[in-house]
Structure 1
Amino acid sequence: METQTAVASTATLENAIYISDKAKQKVLSLMEESGVADDASYFLRVGVVGGGCSGLSYKMDFDNEVKPMDQVFEDKGVKIVTDLKSFLYLVNTELEFSDGLNGKGFFFNNPNASRSCGCGESFAV
């Protein structure tokens, strides 16, 4: 059975997952540190899992295996992959990175979240 995966360029697509310039630089830096930057098969996998104080939590990792039903996007030259169930929560979300005094790290600017917790790591819809 052949699996088809859609690869979308956000230049012409709505309903995608996006990445800010600052987050892109941090992701590329972390890929370099992890030793996967030179392997073009690696990409950023984002997802949503149950848990956290608001009910749902974000997860991120580097991966090199696209699974059936994965949604594949590319924004600013970064390949972003998510499973279909997570995509329903992440549609039109932008991954951002902050290194300011009020908190350092990745965060998701998610228009689908009806509320989020103070730590910014979990949300509800």
Structure 2
Amino acid sequence: MKNIFFFFLLIFSISVFAQESKQKPIKITQKNCLAKKGYSFRLKEVNSDSRCPQGVQCIWAGEVQMVILVYKDKKIVEEMKITVSPNNNEQAINFFAKYYTKNKIKSVYVFPFPIKDKILDKSTYRLEINFE
């Protein structure tokens, strides 16, 4: 009986240590959700969105230009205009990498995606940061 117990304990402990600690994606919106301590972000405004809408064929993928506010302990420390493109979002990754040093950033996306013949309300935009 003891051998079975130790066998299950060994299997359980191996499976617990094998789990990766993956950070969930971070969503940045225009709502004021500020952390009491540490860094937090807010999408101040979307200046332009020239991404190719779904249902349309385009020569150029387009890009989104927006202004991000950076807060530390609820105080503004930086305001930055960034450009996010489906083909190249290195500027955005490098900007957020200054503040997220524990996990490597894999990608930065802007939602919602434009749809043919539909005007998007700029207040619904959000930025999503995904980690490796």
Instruction: Output the TM-score relative to the length of structure 1.
Output: 0.27
Q: Which one has the largest radius of gyration? A: 2
Q: Which one has the bigger strand percentage?
A: 1
Of the two structures, which has the highest relative contact order with CA contacts closer than 8 Å and spacing of 6 or more? 1
